Amino acid sequence: ATILVLHGPNLNLLGNREPEVYGHETLDDINARLSSTCLAAGHHLLHLQSNAEYELIERIHDARREGINMIIFNPAAFTHTSIALRDALLGTSIPFIEVHLSNVHKREPFRHKSYFSDIALGTITGLGSLSYDLALQAALTRLTDTH
């Protein structure tokens, strides 16, 4: 199977960006680790980070054409704003897991609202980059069970 990891705006700054909130690892570190886990399990992993909402939307549309089986998605600030990304996921019916590095529920009230949580398979928040690894474990388990 093929899993797509999507990272939203400002996640390209990981490692330098508020390290007390987001940790010291870079996005390349995280992507490399996820890729090797996925490969070891006999699956493929693709990833994209974008600061542009339309690029993320178009990547989701393309994912349907490519037959991508699962998306692991950290929508970053778009979590709290983007009906368009929500509609892209609803429109393509690709199952996805929502991921956050920080615990959005113990931060500012505007981060408590997500346009994705009620349509996600599940949400993992607050465990740093481990949130992504746990989401990948869940995706791999699910894909192995059903395929």
Stretch that binds ligand DQA, among 33-41, 43-51, 101-109, 133-141 (CB under 6 A): 101-109
Choosing from 49, 69, 82, 102, the residue that interacts with ligand DQA (CB under 6 A) is 102
The reply to whether 79 sits near ligand DQA by the rule CB under 6 A is: yes
Give the active site residue among 22, 43, 115, 132.
22
Considering only 38, 45, 71, 76, the residue that binds ligand DQA (CB under 6 A) is: 76
Q: Which long-range contacts (CB under 8 A, 24 or more apart) does 80-86 make?
A: 80/110, 80/111, 80/113, 80/114, 80/115, 81/115, 82/53, 82/115, 83/115, 84/53, 84/57, 85/53, 85/56, 85/57, 85/60, 85/115, 85/116, 86/115, 86/116, 86/119
**Min. distance of Cβ 101 from ligand DQA in angstroms?**
4
